[in-house]
Structure 1
Amino acid sequence: MTDDDLAFKALADKTRRFLLDLLFTRDGRTLGELESELEMTRFGVAKHLRVLEDAGLVVTRRSGREKLHFLNPVPIRLIHDRWIDKYTERPAAALADLKHQLEANEMTATTGTTVQMYRVYIRATPQAVWDAITKPEWTVKFGYQAPVEYDLRPGGAYRSLASEAMKKAGAPDVVIDGEVIEADPPRKLVQTWRALFLGEDFTRLTHEIEDGGDGVCTLTVTHDVTGAPQTAAQAAGRIPEAGGGWAQVLSDLKTLLETGRPLYT
């Protein structure tokens, strides 16, 4: 069964769609919190969550003794990029609206939701994924097509420079900056991240790359905006219009590494 098949199967069930709606409203919930919203046994809710996890629509992580569940919009983005653009009928527009709603998920200090997680499976080596994230000759080919500068050692500087298109739109020469906290190539990169175009505080960004075997690796991006003002939280989930957001950036990255061509030019 393909990734698209798993996503379509998971979305076909109204209970699973409701669980995604709950996580869209407030991310990072425990099984108990989700169970309280449904007239269903704990086992039944766990079974639905497992289907969503298998489809990549939900990502989990441990926080102490608790297992937290996060909405992952990347499979929705991939469905949109691979299928929706082929059609213009109204039913297709409905899926596009769903994708827009998922990507527009904005975290605020009042909701208590301070972490976003994204996961994508890429048919490439961990080194290829690492290079695509950290080398300017790659970052200009996908996402918002901005060259990056990394000093890959603890305390080293990070800068994302404006593309020519962004400069023409009035963007500053440096649009995002930060500092490397941990660099373990090609497995893990932890850094601070600040959107200078918003004039906001530093947040924490983590890339984790795992070799899944058979030529496929997993890339998990975690953006923690704990303590950041609302606009910084928004920036964590939505990079400027040239890039669209983490879901779109990761979809573009996957396509580039698997086909040699980006989705957007």
Structure 2
Amino acid sequence: MDSIFKALADPSRRDLLDALRQTDGQTLSQLEAALPLSRFGVAKHLGVLETAGLVTRVKRGRFTHHYLNAVPLAEALGRWIEPYRVAPAVQGVLNLKAQMEDTMERRPDYVMRTYIRCTQDALWDALTDADQMAKYHFHASHVTRDGAALTYVAPDGNEMLICRETKLKPKTRIESIFEPRWAPDVPKSHFVWIIEPGDGQCRLTLEHYDIPPGGEGYADGWERIASGLKTFLENGKATKFAAAEA
């Protein structure tokens, strides 16, 4: 908590947070251009904010993007304003965070594991880059990214799924909320990708938690995605293992 208030004590760091609040996911060059700071100064302040948990870095190819993370600040403020309750939206994020952390002590509903001949960087990029996702997802015609949210669009133009990244451990772990859009009132769940690099290959594990009743087909979908991902990375060609038409 001390690191949060230390980070906020500097006006330049508050300016950086304001810049990310207005346009999330900016690169170091973009932030340097928007603020009266040197490149070294921006990088130094970003490091303090990242240590405090207020900024998250995500590497996309040659560029590193910076995202605002307001949850640690909300937790700190909640220590004193709990009698008045935190704003509902923020409280919802905190509840979700607690739920996600609880997965470390619970057994997932579904686990899938595969081995892919590729580098750790290539696998990470394929799991986080929207354009690459569309090349191996079994049904999505394209995928778009808006901050931490990835939207999968079906061939008919309708949203079929939104995956919201909630916690990233670069190159090794991605935790996300799974929000179905293919039918009304389908409950949310969450899943985790785990990357373990080896000698010329990576072991990829998928854990899915809180799969709702009637979600038996989730396993088939993950298997098709993993097969497309493996073929795409090993052969370099877009591959979709689509379900057979009835």
* TM value normalised by structure 2: 0.49
* TM value normalised by structure 1: 0.46
